[in-house]
């Protein structure tokens, strides 16, 4: 019976292969758009670049689902713990799968999920070869990838036009340049190099006489006996649930109710152009049976404003365009060292993380009421213990941490697949006001992992094969002041989303988000706060008119209602067109959008397709229209070219932005050109 069902699935999948086949970039974009639903932070956008690289690597090195461990299956990120458990139990009972489409017979899987993960998994048996780190192997058996990108705003910003030597100005050209090289020998060895110059920074002159403004390098070795991983150069470290150490991109609140759980992936190579969220040094993971030990040490120099032997501010922009920015470049040393130890089996693990960080100068930053309990010393230490376990359809996880000043943080959660049509999740967190963790990135509403208590509840229901309903409610409070809120405060937000997919060519998404929070009352002579409510509504439809042509329509609305101010509103409408020229390696993507908002308060963020490895989620505000046009072309599977141009036109503006970034006029046009070569 199993062979018969599998054969039928194979025949059906082959007969519909052309209709169902999706471009890899489109699949990655679908995943990223889910993540981007609540993203409004530039650092998170940079983090999504790592997400794209992660999936691209998986596509080039797909997991064999018959041999992959639960930990390896977690790398897919879009599988729930119950689905991973179901795969393991299915293979135990019936043996190895004969096709990826056999996943449709596994409890908890549907056609949409199988389609989304199919580029990243395989059932093919790959002959295992002995790993030889010889010069010949390195030169002949690996794969090289070279990516080069340039971008420019076509209009001239104020920072490039100033001639008065007493005024700050951009010292470099308005072009940005990125060069990234990677060498991979299967999953065993990776060597990478990144060089980046932002717009306005000097290039082979002045402060950057040696070329680019930022250089990054890494060497990663995997699976050499007990040495599970070795990283030399730049890396990221992610352990537990992020209470002590997590300096990578992390999922937040979204339509995926399972996204609240951090997927612990330890150390990873760093190849982003982001100049802030990385460590530089050496890291390794050693495995002894069920034990894993992961020590690391990092030393690098960061940007800071120095005064009288101490630092008065830390800069996290990575920009070095003006004299003031150049003076801050790499002026402060940062040392971080620590380890993670873990013990576990297939479906459970306990771990402990300890780290110590120190800046190379005293902290002279101002102490204000809102940051009274934040770290005001050049050094700090954290210790945390975490756990996770899966019991059939139930996943339990959590972490508890303490900082060197005695501040504590706690997070515990549960996700459960009751059956194939009902899932729910819950997470409680309590981060004390004086908990201090520089390298933390745990689930929460606050920008820092401190001064917050909250309870999250989420549910996902499949009432019909064509419908999927998801919702969450999150209630939180801040016992102490925050930036922009001069009193203890509280708030809540919820999301309700419905997806209707009657067939593979048509999908409709309806989403309602509402949040209520406290903010300072603008213009008040005394510290006064008010309740502020914001409602966002999205109606989006995507439809495939043919295997080559797809379209998407979107309507978004925002309503901003402050307790003691005039209410404001904003809306956006957009139309997308994607076309892949039949029997050619040429593809296009186009969007036209029109928007009208009363102010920045009613801005709308919408995910935009971009060239490979690049993402943009611009803020649509004021009154105007925006378009972008992407074109991609592949030459012999070894060379890929991309070009993108986008423009925002404001109906009632005569100047865009302010200060050195100001553009005289009512339009801003940006262009990107990228080439990737594999050999």
CB 535 within 8 A of CB 558: yes
CA distance 549 to 544: 6
Report the pLDDT value the prediction gives residue 22, as an integer from 0 to 100.
46
- Of 626 and 525, which is predicted with more confidence? 626
Given its phi and psi angles, is residue 84 left (phi above 0), alpha (psi -120 to 50 degrees) or beta? Answer: alpha
Average pLDDT of 132-144? 72
Q: Is 39 helix (H, G, I), strand (E, B) or coil?
A: coil
Q: How many CB atoms lie within 10 A of CB 301?
A: 13
503 falls in which pLDDT band (50, 70, 90)?
A: confident
The model's pLDDT over 300-354, given as tens digits with 9 standing for 90+, comes to 999 999 999 899 999 988 999 999 999 999 999 999 999 999 999 878 899 999 9
15 falls in which pLDDT band (50, 70, 90)?
A: very low
6 falls in which pLDDT band (50, 70, 90)?
A: very low
- Ranges 427-441, 576-590, 607-621: which has the least confidence: 607-621
Token reading at 160: 């490039």
Cite the beta strand spans of 225-269 per DSSP E: 227-238, 266-269
Average pLDDT of 241-255? 83
pTM tops 0.85 = yes
Give the residue extent of every domain in the chain: 1-125, 139-463
Average pLDDT of 654-663? 92
Report the pLDDT value the prediction gives residue 672, as an integer from 0 to 100.
95
247 falls in which pLDDT band (50, 70, 90)?
A: confident
Q: Is 405 helix (H, G, I), strand (E, B) or coil?
A: coil
Report the pLDDT value the prediction gives residue 134, as an integer from 0 to 100.
66
Burial class (CB in 10 A: 0-12, 13-18, 19+), 176: buried
CA distance 26 to 18: 15
Residues in the chain, total: 679
CA distance 211 to 231: 26
Token reading at 304: 């800071």
CA distance 45 to 130: 39
Q: Is 67 helix (H, G, I), strand (E, B) or coil?
A: coil
The model's pLDDT over 544-602, given as tens digits with 9 standing for 90+, comes to 898 889 999 999 999 999 988 899 999 999 999 999 998 888 999 999 999 999 999 99
State yes or no: pLDDT of 11 exceeds 50. Answer: no
Given its phi and psi angles, is residue 381 left (phi above 0), alpha (psi -120 to 50 degrees) or beta? Answer: beta
CB 268 within 8 A of CB 284: no
The DSSP letter of residue 172 is S
Return the biggest CA–CA distance within the chain.
82
CB 578 within 8 A of CB 549: yes
Token reading at 264: 């612990």
Nearest to 383 by CA among 337, 407, 411, 352: 352
CA distance 189 to 135: 13
Token reading at 34: 């889910």
- Ranges 327-331, 458-462, 647-651: which has the least confidence: 458-462
State yes or no: pLDDT of 435 exceeds 70. Answer: yes
Q: How many CB atoms lie within 10 A of CB 1?
A: 5
Report the pLDDT value the prediction gives residue 100, as an integer from 0 to 100.
86
Nearest to 97 by CA among 83, 87, 108, 112: 87
Report the pLDDT value the prediction gives residue 28, as an integer from 0 to 100.
60
Average pLDDT of 517-530? 82
43 falls in which pLDDT band (50, 70, 90)?
A: low
Task: Tell me the three-class secondary structure of 139-161, residue by residue.
Answer: HHCCEEEEEEEEEEECCCEHHHC
Residue 313: CA count within 13 A, CB half-sphere:
9
State yes or no: pLDDT of 36 exceeds 60. Answer: no
The model's pLDDT over 54-86, given as tens digits with 9 standing for 90+, comes to 777 777 778 888 888 877 888 887 787 778 888
State yes or no: pLDDT of 13 exceeds 50. Answer: no
State yes or no: pLDDT of 271 exceeds 60. Answer: yes
CB 285 within 8 A of CB 266: yes
CA distance 97 to 106: 10
132 falls in which pLDDT band (50, 70, 90)?
A: low
What separation in angstroms does the CA of 385 have from each of 109, 172, 247, 388, 413? 33, 47, 17, 11, 14
CB 339 within 8 A of CB 329: no
The DSSP letter of residue 410 is E
CA distance 649 to 154: 13
CA distance 508 to 502: 9
CA distance 263 to 242: 10
State yes or no: pLDDT of 138 exceeds 70. Answer: no
């Amino acid at each position: 019976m199993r062979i018969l069902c599998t054969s039928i699935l194979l025949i059906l999948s082959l007969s519909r292969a052309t209709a169902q086949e999706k471009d890899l970039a489109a699949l990655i974009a679908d995943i990223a758009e889910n993540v981007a639903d609540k993203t409004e932070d530039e650092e998170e956008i940079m983090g999504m670049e790592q997400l794209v690289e992660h999936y691209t690597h998986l596509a080039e090195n797909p997991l064999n689902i018959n041999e992959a461990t639960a930990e390896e299956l977690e790398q897919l990120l879009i599988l729930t713990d119950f689905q991973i458990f179901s795969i393991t139990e299915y293979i135990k009972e019936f043996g190895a799968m004969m096709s990826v489409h056999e996943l449709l017979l596994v409890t908890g899987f549907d056609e949409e999920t199988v389609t989304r993960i199919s580029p990243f998994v395989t059932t093919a048996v790959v002959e295992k070869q002995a790993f030889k780190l010889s010069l010949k192997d390195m030169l002949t058996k690996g794969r090289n990838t070279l990516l080069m990108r340039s971008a420019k705003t076509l209009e001239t910003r104020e920072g490039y036009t100033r001639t008065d030597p007493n005024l700050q100005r951009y010292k470099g050209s308005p072009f940005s340049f990125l060069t990234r090289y990677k060498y991979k020998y299967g999953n065993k060895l990776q060597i990478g190099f990144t060089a980046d110059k932002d717009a306005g920074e000097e290039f082979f002159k002045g402060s950057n006489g040696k070329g680019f403004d930022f250089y990054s390098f890494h060497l990663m070795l995997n699976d050499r006996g007990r040495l599970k991983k070795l990283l030399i150069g730049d890396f990221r470290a992610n352990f537990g649930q992020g209470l002590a150490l997590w300096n990578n991109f992390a999922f937040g609140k979204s339509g995926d109710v399972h996204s609240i759980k951090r997927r612990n992936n330890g150390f990873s190579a760093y190849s982003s152009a982001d100049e802030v969220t990385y460590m530089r040094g050496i890291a390794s993971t050693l495995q002894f049976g069920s034990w894993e030990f992961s020590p690391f040490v990092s030393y690098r120099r960061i940007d800071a404003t120095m005064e009288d032997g101490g630092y008065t501010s830390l800069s996290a922009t990575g920009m070095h365009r003006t004299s003031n920015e150049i003076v801050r470049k790499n002026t402060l040393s940062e040392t971080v060292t620590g380890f993670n130890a873990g013990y576990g089996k297939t479906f459970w693990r306990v771990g402990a993380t300890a780290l110590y960080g120190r800046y190379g100068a005293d902290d002279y930053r101002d102490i204000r009421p809102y940051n009274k309990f934040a770290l005001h010393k050049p050094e700090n230490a954290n210790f945390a213990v975490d756990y996770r376990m899966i019991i059939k359809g139930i996943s339990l996880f959590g972490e508890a941490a303490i900082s060197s000043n005695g501040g504590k943080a706690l997070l515990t959660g549960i996700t459960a697949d009751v059956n194939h049509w009902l899932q729910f999740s819950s997470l409680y967190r309590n981060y004390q006001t004086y908990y201090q963790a520089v390298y933390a990135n745990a689930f929460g509403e606050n920008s820092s992992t401190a001064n917050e208590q909250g309870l999250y509840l989420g549910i996902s229901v499949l009432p019909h094969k064509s419908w999927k309903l998801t919702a969450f409610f999150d209630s939180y409070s801040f016992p102490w002041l925050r930036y922009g809120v001069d009193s203890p405060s509280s708030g809540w937000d919820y999301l309700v989303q419905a997806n209707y997919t009657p067939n593979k060519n048509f999908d409709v998404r309806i989403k309602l988000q509402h949040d209520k929070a406290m903010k300072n009352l603008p213009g008040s002579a005394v510290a006064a706060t008010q309740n502020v409510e914001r409602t966002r509504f999205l109606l989006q439809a995507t439809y495939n008119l043919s295997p080559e042509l797809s379209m998407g329509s979107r309507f978004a609305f925002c309503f901003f209602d402050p307790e003691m101010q005039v209410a404001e509103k904003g809306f956006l409408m957009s139309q997308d067109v994607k076309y892949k020229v039949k029997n050619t390696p040429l593809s296009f993507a186009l969007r036209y959008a029109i928007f009208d908002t009363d102010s920045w308060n009613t801005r709308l963020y919408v995910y935009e397709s971009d060239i490979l490895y690049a993402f943009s989620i611009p803020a649509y505000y004021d009154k105007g229209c925006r378009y972008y046009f992407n074109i991609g072309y592949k030459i012999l599977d070894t060379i890929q070219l991309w070009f993108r141009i986008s423009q925002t036109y404001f109906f009632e503006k005569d100047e865009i932005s302010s200060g050195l970034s100001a553009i005289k006029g009512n339009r801003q046009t940006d262009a990107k050109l990228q080439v990737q070569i594999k050999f």
